Amino acid sequence: MYDKLDNPVYHSLNEFHQKFCLDFGDTKFYTSEVAVFGGSANVSKENEITEYAKICDDFLIFGAKPDLGDFKTELSRLVCDQYILEDKIELDFSEEILQLQEEHHEELFLFIQKFYPYYFKKRTPELGRYFGIFKDDKLVAVTGERMQMNDMTEISAVITDTDYLGKGYAKQLVAYVSGKIFEDHKTPFLHVAETNVGAKKLYEKLGFKLRGKINLWGIKK
């Protein structure tokens, strides 16, 4: 039922995010201005990797270990747990949650850059909706949508300012965003580093189910 999640980048670019697709054969990559991810229906090959490397110096391939051939690079590996949510989260919301508009994008970019400077680009908000909580006229917590297929949407960028932790903002944002995804008649899913025990406990408490693990292979030219 969720087999496409074995290759979420590939299927997102083959479906809902097709307009962002750079197709190099068996491997599809996002336009580097929105995301530096690639994925293959099978195994990414040297020629496909080198073509994207002409555009982007530092990127990730989701799924199977790429076949680098003679391509010289530092290949790193991040193991993530992949979760799905099959039932709506029942939660009372105590905070005002706003959908971020174009006028918020610069503040959103700078906010996420403080915590995850690699994964978020200037045009990443084009991939989906982003929602935030503001306190003292500043953005203090966000959650959004990243990879999207026709029937599934990834929850991403679950970030709270360190000065505002412990107030339940992430819980409310994840519940709110997943609810929006269900309204679209899609299934929410997300990825979290297998070492991030605190985040995994939160997601499991909210009802997310562990589907399995997925590798993210880092490639640097």
Q: How many whole angstroms from its chain centre is CA 210? A: 16
pLDDT for 117: 79
CA atoms within 13 A on the CB side of 73: 22
Beta strands in 149-202 (DSSP E): 152-160, 187-193
Residues of the chain under the 70 pLDDT cut: none
**What percentage of the chain carries pLDDT values higher than 70?**
100
pLDDT for 216: 97
Q: Which domains does the chain have, with CATH numbers?
A: 3-80 (no CATH), 83-213 (3.40.630.30)
pLDDT for 50: 93
pLDDT for 74: 81
CA torsion, ordered 85, 90, 95, 97, to nearest 10 deg: 50
> What predicted TM-score, i.e. pTM, was given to this entire model?
0.95
Which tokens is 72 given?
């010289």
How many other CB atoms are found less than 10 A from the CB of residue 134? 16
The one-letter code for the residue type at 79 is: V
Q: How far apart are CA 221 and CA 201, in angstroms?
A: 36
Q: How far apart are CA 158 and CA 86, in angstroms?
A: 19
pLDDT for 44: 95
**What percentage of the chain carries pLDDT values higher than 90?**
92
Q: How far apart are CA 26 and CA 19, in angstroms?
A: 17
pLDDT for 171: 97
Q: Are 170 and 141 in contact (CB under 8 A)?
A: yes
